[in-house]
Structure 1
Amino acid sequence: MRREDDERFQDYFGRSVRALSDYLGIGFQIAGSFAFFVLIGYWADEKLGTSPLLLLAGVAVGMTGMVLVLMKVVRNANRKKR
């Protein structure tokens, strides 16, 4: 009986760690892509003197990317449930 409990715990723990790593990866991908486009917009504004136009464009592109990534994740999660 004790061995079954240990195996069940290991199974649950393993699934939890896999799910956590998937969601952490998605979070880092979203944050990284958003920060990348915002920083590129800021840098371009500094070089071209167009403040804040390119920064705002970077924010818009970053947010669009975030929405696309989230839609992809939700779509994949819905497929796995079926």
Structure 2
Amino acid sequence: MKPNIGLINSMIRITAGFSMLTYLTIRGARKEGSSSHPLLIIMASLKIAEGIVRFCPLTALYESAALETDGKEEPWAQNLPDDA
């Protein structure tokens, strides 16, 4: 896995992940009957992990989809009919 996010971006992800995780933990602890949604807790944990390893799978997927297979970057062509 080659890092695909920068140092500043990773620090922002770690900070945002810990902030979200702290908020969700406090929210779940205050109300006795309710708990925080597990999916939100997993998302916060993933942001922390992405920041630590400096790899984002969604960024990698976007970068691989944005590049052409022959190595040349070409603009997306729009095949519009000529109504002239």
Q: TM-score range by the shorter chain?
A: 0.3 to 0.5
Greater relative contact order (CA < 8 Å, ≥ 6 in sequence): 2
